[in-house]
């Protein structure tokens, strides 16, 4: 029963993060599955992809209805990341769990620092296809390797590299997350073990509900505040992951 309640609470937090920040799903999901619900790192990253795909689709629908998705930027970004995501997804099965966890923590910390240091850029009406493709390819590789949807890197990349405003980067990142996570999940299908659906289903249920609440919350918060909140969340999770891997 305790694990069931923890799954419900963790799912709600993941949904709120994805709905309000357009990211943070996997970076909260993976540690929760490992440290709260007892999943192995390999199973947690696979289960995390399932959770993130379903929850991100819900959050994307809410943002699309509000007109807060840059479809061209998102599709360019996502398409470039699909081949690297598939290749890295296969490679991840052969890497040590501690190394993957530390790599996860380092990337989260770097992304968090970038978000905290950067001012919200002005809105641009055009998207550079080469820059979108390059950033998307790098993100796809990280997604496949670490079993994350990539929102914690997609949001900073959309803001910093493509000058997408934070208000639109939140919704657009969800499109990127879904594409990359689906490809990485398919690549892992041949090597992944069976995931315990007993805890996964309640996790997903509250995550979906939280995503709708997160979207409504994001409409009431200034983009610069969202950016700072997101940066702080990344640094906190990075520290917890690094400590857990080293102890």
Q: What is the pLDDT along the chain (247 residues), one digit of tens a residue?
A: 587 888 888 888 877 777 776 666 666 787 788 888 888 877 887 888 888 888 888 888 888 888 888 888 788 888 888 888 778 777 776 777 777 778 778 877 887 787 787 554 444 445 566 777 777 888 778 777 776 656 667 777 787 777 778 778 878 888 888 887 787 788 777 665 667 778 788 888 888 888 777 777 766 777 677 778 777 877 887 887 788 777 7
Give the span between the Cα atoms of 246 and 31, in whole angstroms: 14
| pLDDT reported for residue 24 | 61
- On the CB side of 117, CA atoms within 13 Å amount to 8
Q: How far apart are CA 60 and CA 66, in angstroms?
A: 10
pTM of the model: 0.68
How many whole angstroms from its chain centre is CA 233?
A: 12
Task: Please report the pLDDT score of residue 158 as a whole number.
Answer: 80
* 176 CB burial (10 A radius; 0-12, 13-18, 19+): buried
Residues 6+ away with beta carbon under 8 Å from 50: 185, 195, 200, 204
Tell me if residue 239 falls in helix, strand or coil.
helix
How high is the pLDDT of residue 236?
A: 83
State how far the alpha carbon of 233 is from the alpha carbons of 3, 104, 159, in Å: 24, 14, 17
Residue 47 structure tokens:
């289960």
What pLDDT score does 35 carry? 80
- pLDDT recorded at residue 238: 81
Residue 75 corresponds to which tokens in the numbers above?
Answer: 């599709």
Q: Taking a C-beta distance cutoff of 8 angstroms, is the pair 204, 52 a contact? A: no
Helix ranges (H only) for 93-218 are 97-117, 129-146, 151-160, 166-188, 197-218
């Amino acid at each position: 029963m305790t694990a069931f309640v923890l799954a419900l609470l963790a799912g709600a937090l993941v949904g709120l993060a994805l709905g309000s920040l357009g990211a943070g799903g996997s970076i909260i999901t993976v540690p929760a599955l490992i440290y709260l619900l007892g999943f192995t790192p390999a199973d947690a990253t696979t289960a995390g992809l399932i959770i993130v795909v379903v929850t991100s689709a819900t959050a994307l629908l809410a943002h699309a209805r509000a007109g807060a998705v840059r479809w061209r930027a998102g599709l360019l970004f996502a398409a470039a990341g699909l081949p690297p995501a598939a290749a890295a997804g296969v490679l991840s099965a052969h890497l040590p769990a501690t190394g993957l966890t530390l790599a996860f923590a380092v990337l989260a910390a770097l992304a968090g620092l970038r978000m905290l240091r950067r001012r919200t850029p002005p809105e641009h009406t055009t998207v550079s296809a080469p820059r979108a493709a390059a950033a998307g390819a790098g993100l796809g590789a990280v997604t496949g390797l670490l079993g994350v949807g990539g929102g914690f890197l997609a949001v900073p990349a959309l803001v910093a590299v493509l000058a997408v405003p934070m208000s639109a980067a939140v919704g657009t990142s969800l499109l990127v997350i879904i594409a990359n996570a689906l490809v990485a999940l398919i690549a892992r299908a041949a090597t992944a073990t069976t995931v315990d659906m007993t805890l996964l289903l309640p996790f997903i249920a509250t995550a979906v509900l939280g995503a709708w609440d997160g979207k409504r919350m994001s409409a009431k918060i200034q983009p610069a505040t969202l950016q700072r909140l997101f940066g702080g969340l990344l640094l906190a999770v990075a520290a917890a992951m690094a400590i857990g891997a080293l102890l």
